[in-house]
């Protein structure tokens, strides 16, 4: 049962990402520069996360433990800005399907590498012919969806 819950959660996350690209790119049209849409998105997201943490009674982070974390854990926000800024700029020019297809290509190749070597704290899941075929089929599907 846990697998299906997490699989559904991942699908909902994908739905959210697709919608987010249109929402943020539209917001950017009402601002003097698209980067403000990114800042507003992150500010609202931060507020919602803090409200959720308070409602869940998550407690305060242990700063001593956090100081022992690897340096790269601090890059998540930067990576988020790269993603959101990319969607704000690309979505209005290429459309949601093209954007998501191109994102999927980068996502799949990077994910296979991360899994294979167990990078950034992920468990090792070696690349094999089945995984490469699955990724290739997803990319081919994304390319076909983009064709008009």
What whole-number distance in Å separates Cα of residue 74 and Cα of residue 138? 30
The pTM score is: 0.80
Position 45 scores a pLDDT of: 95
pLDDT tens for 72-122 read 999 999 999 999 998 999 889 888 888 888 888 889 899 999 999 999 999
| Domain spans of the chain, in order of start | 1-70+80-94, 95-148
Among 123, 115, 108, which Cα is nearest to 14's?
A: 108
Position 140 scores a pLDDT of: 87
Query: Do residues 38 and 85 lie in contact, with contact meaning Cβ atoms separated by under 8 Å?
Result: yes
């Amino acid at each position: 049962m846990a697998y299906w819950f997490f699989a559904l959660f991942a699908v909902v996350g994908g739905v959210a990402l697709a919608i987010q690209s249109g929402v943020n790119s539209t917001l950017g049209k009402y601002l003097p520069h698209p980067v403000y849409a990114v800042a507003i998105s992150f500010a609202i997201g931060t507020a919602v996360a803090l409200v959720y943490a308070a409602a869940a009674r998550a407690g305060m982070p242990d700063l001593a433990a956090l100081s022992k974390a690897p340096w790269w854990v601090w890059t998540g926000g930067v990576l988020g800005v790269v993603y959101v800024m990319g969607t704000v700029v690309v979505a209005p020019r290429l459309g949601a399907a093209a954007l998501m297809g191109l994102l999927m290509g980068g996502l799949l190749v990077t994910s296979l590498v991360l899994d294979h070597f167990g990078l950034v704290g992920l468990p090792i899941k070696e690349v094999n012919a089945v995984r490469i075929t699955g990724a290739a089929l997803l990319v081919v599907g994304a390319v076909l969806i983009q064709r008009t």
